[in-house]
Every structure is written in C-alpha cells, then in structure tokens.
Amino acid sequence: MLNEAIEALLNKPDDLAPEPADGHYVDATFGRGGHSRLLLSRLSPQGRLTAFDKDPMAVAEAQTLTDPRFAIRHQGFRHLSELPAASAAGVLMDLGVSSPQIDDPTRGFSFRFDGPLDMRMDTTRGQSVAQWLATAETRQIAEVIRDYGEERFAGQIAKAIVARRQERGPVSTTSELAQLVADTVKTRESGQNPATRTFQALRIFINAELEELQEALAASLDVLQPGGRLVVISFHSLEDRIVKQFIAQHSREVYDRRAPFAEPKPMRLRALDRIKPSAAEVAANPRSRSAIMRVAVRTTA
C-alpha cells in the first residue's frame, strides 16, 4: 500500500497532480525507504522529512539519500516524543519486520532459512532470542509465546525448549527452533508452518514491539499539528487492535465522572479510513495480504 499510504498522509491523491506538499512529515519506520522516497518526491522544496529506524542496515540505506530535506535518526519510533510539539503535518508507521530483514538469514527472523536465532531489529544492543531462551524459565517462555503469538500449544513448546536446553544445550539457530516446534505441535493450521506463531511471538517480545507502538502512538498526539494525518499499517491482529483502540479512545469526548458538570475533554483524533491491500497488490506481494492501514486526523482541539 505504498501509494495509498502516501496519498492518505498528504490527503492529496496522486492522480490529481497536486501541488507539492509543504510541511514536516515523519516516516517512523524507514525500513528500506520505499515510503520515504515516494514522500520526498511529493514534497515541495520547503518540505521536510524525518525518518526513524533502529536497524543499522536501514540507517545505512537511509544515509545514501542525499536530499537536504531528509534526516534519519538511528532510534526506535518511541523517540517520536523528542520531536517538537505540533511540528508534524503527518506521521506514517509501517509496522513489523521488513522483507529484507526476513530474507537475510543472518538476522534470524525466518524459519525458511537456517541462521543464528537473533531477531533483534537493532543488532547493536540488547539480547538475541537465543540468548534469552538460554536462561528463561518455562513459565516465561510459555507466556511470551501465548501472549504475543496467540499459540494454543505455548506450554508444550516452552517445555520442549527447556528440555532441549537441559539435554543438549540451548537452541541457537532458526532451523533448530523450527524443527523443535514442528516436533511438538502435532496439529497444524492449513497452509501455515507450525513455527509461525512462535517466531512471531519471540520477535515481538525481544524487540518490545507492542510497548514501543503504544509509546509512539501516544507521542504522535503531541507531535501532530491540528489537521495532521496519522497513518498506521499493521500486519497482525495484536498490532491492529492497539491502533484501532487508540484511535477509538481519542476519537470521543472524555467525561470526568468525578466532576459531572465539568466540560468534557475534547476528542484529539478523528478516524478517517480503514484500508486493505488490493487484489493486485496481494497477488504481486503475498506478504501484504494481512495488512490493514488505519488513517486518522489530529483535531484542532
């Protein structure tokens, strides 16, 4: 939803050949720069774009952009809060793991390739999944796989991981973990690798993705100027639920029950749209089939 996201952010359909946009925009998840490059092509000489990403490879890619209107920050998007209040005409968040990350065996995001069980978005800091699994208790592992992967066999998988650690040493590669899960989960969902939910859960946990999303959404309320657009693309129900509830929460007036006659706090957002990828996009890029894009606008209150 590359074009749809930029059109929603700018509120200017491309086919109408609009005037270039002024203002400061934020690409909160640079990835490999597809959204940023298209957005820069739609900005005026006075426009500016600030991008965030905690992946060193993404930052290296961003540094190849020599456009003076562009700046990259090697930070997670929770650091949106460091931008000046009401400074952004639009904030775009394209959540989750990128295709280059999935397709690089050294990153450990995919069970399709054998590689180190890492999964860190920022490889310069923090524990890898392998390091965490080497010491985590059965209960902790089960909670992570259940809560972040919605995996009904979380308890059995956690026990198998710890048993393997005690017998032969900790799991250290993607293929080892994928095989262990396959041997443990006897009932498979049609068309889905049995390790899918476990890999998703461990990736979300090790990168604190849901917590960071909540912080970034809260920060966007302060960073967006009145009339500014918030565009969020999510790829699984846990992310989308947080985004949906956040927009709904701030799209209504809030009454203080302790002061029933006081003026309500005005709503801060207005929901605009919920968009799914087109059939043509899903055919060209099957990974997009689960994407949901939600659009909201910052109110003047």
Q: Which of 53, 106, 109, 101 is nearest to 79 (CA)?
A: 53
Q: Which of 296, 203, 202, 206 is nearest to 243 (CA)?
A: 296
Q: Which of 181, 137, 187 is nearest to 160 (CA)?
A: 181
Task: Provide the CATH topology of domain 123-206.
Answer: DNA polymerase; domain 1 (1.10.150)
pLDDT at 18: 64
| CATH architecture of the domain with range 2-99+209-298 | 3-Layer(aba) Sandwich (3.40)
- DSSP alpha helix (H) spans, the chain: 2-10, 34-41, 56-62, 99-103, 129-133, 138-149, 154-168, 174-184, 196-206, 209-223, 237-249, 279-284
pLDDT at 184: 95
Angle between helices 34-41 and 2-10 (to 10 degrees): 50
Whether 17 has a pLDDT exceeding 60, the answer reads: no
- Residue-wise pLDDT tens digits, 173-193: 999 999 999 999 977 777 788
Both tokens of 147, joined, read: 């809560």
| CA–CA separation, 12 and 18 (whole Å) | 6
Q: List 231's β-bridge partners, or say none.
A: 92, 295
DSSP for residue 286: G
Tell me if domain 2-99+209-298 and domain 123-206 are identical in fold: no
Model confidence pTM above 0.85 = yes
pLDDT at 33: 93
Block residue for tokens 């992570």: 144
| CA–CA separation, 177 and 28 (whole Å) | 31
Report domain extents, the chain. Answer: 2-99+209-298, 123-206
pLDDT at 260: 61
- Residue-wise pLDDT tens digits, 189-218: 777 889 999 999 999 999 999 999 999 999
Q: Residue 291 in contact with residue 234, Cβ under 8 Å?
A: yes
How high is the mean pLDDT of the chain?
A: 92
